[in-house]
Chains A and B, each alone.
Chain A
Amino acid sequence: MNSNRIKYISSIIGLAVIAILPFVLPDYPLHLCALSGIWIILVLSLCLLQGYIGELSMGHAAFFGIGAYSSVFMTMTGGFSFWAALPLSGIISMIFGYLIGLVSLRLRGPYFAMCTLGFAEVIRMVLVNWKKVTGGPDGIIAIPSPNEITLPFIGQISFINKIPNYFLIYIFVFITIFVVYRIVHSLMGYAIVAVREDQDYAECVGINTMKWKRFIYSISAFFAGLAGSLFAHYLHFISPYSFGVAESFDLVIMIIIGGTGTIIGPIIGAVLLTLLPEFLHAIKDYRMLIYGAILIVVIIYAPGGIAGLLKNLTDRYLPKLTTKMGS
């Protein structure tokens, strides 16, 4: 039993759980699961940036917002079908990412983080004040569900109910996981991790660090835009308050608690922090206080996050397991 086998088995179990959940869960918990899915896409897109190429964006919710608003604009004003607006909103977000990256990625570390924070604030102000297009602080209501489609073998699917929406979101969760996994486990992954470890040295072994950073920032913005589009058409309502600084910080907290530089870590973080507030309803106003406490504990006792703890556990007990299995 090696770690590959464990990965394989656990992903099959994960798939099965995701497939069964909508048929056993009541309405509201299912809604939470769908929301977790959207957060997983978001957090993985940020993880590609923060965990692998090593630049922390503190304004990632801005791309989420750009995706959501452009998708809504295209379907409600432009008359596009949702299925065209979904990829297009990702691409629009990606273009924004590229342009912002062109300027801000010249900065490094905390300076870059501050710059993205500023950018996110600009986007939020535009969303609040450009009333003609964005509806201002009131947001946009009555966003249509994804259009009906007819698939071979399955037949017609309408997205009025929660269950098809749930599956739609999780299909995109899998696409995101798949793409991120393939990027970091291919030859590209070496160049990306090299940039994270030491940018100056990476230049000196022939890696065009600026190009790579811009590229990853664009890809990251693309997935955040996709998540935005899914979010808008799932909730039927968006307002600038869903894409503020607090959401950007939530994403960063999810990554840190889950464990940076891994794929499973941010997923755990996203699910945990989407479900946790539901258990903390009684003290909702003090939510951030609890997050802060958790964050401090995690940073001190488990710098690798939950994923790091899990890895330590498997590293410690796996050799014994192997000998037992082997004998």
Chain B
Amino acid sequence: MELLKVENLEKHFGGNAAVSGLSMVLRQGEILGLIGPNGSGKTTVFNLIRGVHQPTGGQIYLRGKPLHGKTRHDIVKMGVGCTFQGLRHFSKLSVFDNIMVGCHCRTSGSLWSAFWRSVLKTRAARKEQAKTREKAFELMEFLGLMPYVNEFADNIPQFMQRRLDIGVAMATEPLLLLLDEPAAGLNHTETIQLNQLINQIRNEKKISVFLIEHDMNLVMDVCERIIVLNYGKKIAEGLPKEILDNEAVVEAYLGKESIDFVTFE
């Protein structure tokens, strides 16, 4: 089943075509990789999906519903969670508060009803608060963030901050998780743990993952299919093995020598 469908996506910045004519499909329950040289338009594709930019042309559908033309917060509510390049979270809030902010998007009711419920602290409000807290703790347990619950987000190890970013995105209960270079700045062991985490997210939480990454070992190991971009155009799509053998990809991105370093585990 198709979860995300992109048709003829175009994005122009002035005369510069960052993405041109991209069509692709992400199936339900899939881990899909997006690779390509710097400046090839990977992050632009992500920004178009999550509504940071509006496409110049083409359509994006999530389960048949259009995402183009929607605001960022609506897209999150429709089920697209995302992390950003580099670390992005509420750095002056605690780990727990960060996760709770993520959970907030799934709380019920309009603003005014939420206001009256909160001020009068009705039973429904207390129940919802307890439920949300429980959900947050469950998620922190899943991500291994429990030792840092009350720490400021900026004070925990970088690897954990990365997990926190993923956690905030997961707290919004997405169908699709966009991860933009999650392994940047991580060492070998941490990358392996990240690999396991991404698999767990898909297998246990049933969230499909769309991943941009430069670490070829991670991409080749974790992704089931890979799309390669160059100058905003799709130059290849297929299984990791096929991508490694693809002449055009080797030429544009991987380079002839680097292939020897990629090992399958």
Contacts and interface: CB of A to CB of B under 8 A. Distances in A.
A296 B45 CA distance: 48
B242 to A, nearest CB: 33
B125 A186 contact: yes
Given A179-B119, A191-B104, A204-B82, A197 B73 contact: no
A74 interface: no
A188 B118 contact: yes
Contacts of A182: 118-119, 121
A205 interface: yes
Nearest to A180: B119
Nearest to B97: A190
Given A183-B119, A206-B172, A211 B101 contact: no
Contacts, number: 89
Contact of B100 (A190, A206, A211): A190
A25 to B, nearest CB: 32
Interface string A172-188: 00000011001100111
A197 B102 contact: no
Contacts of A212: 111
Contacts of B90: 193-194, 197-198, 201
Say what secondary structure dominates the interface of chain B: helix
A202 B118 contact: no
Contacts of B121: 182, 186
Given A187-B128, A187-B129, A206 B105 contact: yes
Interface residues of B, number: 39
A188 B117 CA distance: 10
Nearest to B76: A206
A207 interface: yes
B225 interface: no
Given A197-B92, A204-B50, A187 B105 contact: no
Contacts of A204: 50, 52, 72-73, 76, 82, 84
Contact of A187 (B50, B114, B172): B114
B88 interface: yes
B211 interface: no
Interface string B111-137: 100110111010001001100100000
Nearest to B110: A211
B104 A187 contact: yes
| Residue among A182, A190, A197, A219 having the largest count of chain B Cβ atoms under 10 Å | A190
A203 interface: yes
A215 interface: yes
Interface string B136-166: 0000000000000000000000000000000
Interface of B: 50, 52, 71-73, 76-77, 82, 84, 88-93, 97, 100-107, 111, 114-115, 117-119, 121, 125, 128-129, 132, 168-169, 171-172
Given A187-B118, A204-B76, A205-B101, 5 more contacts: A197-B91, A197-B92, A205-B105, A206-B73, A206-B172
22 contacts: A179-B119, A183-B118, A183-B119, A186-B125, A187-B104, A187-B114, A190-B101, A190-B103, A191-B101, A193-B101, A194-B104, A197-B93, A201-B89, A204-B76, A205-B101, A205-B102, A205-B171, A206-B77, A207-B104, A209-B73, A215-B111, A215-B115
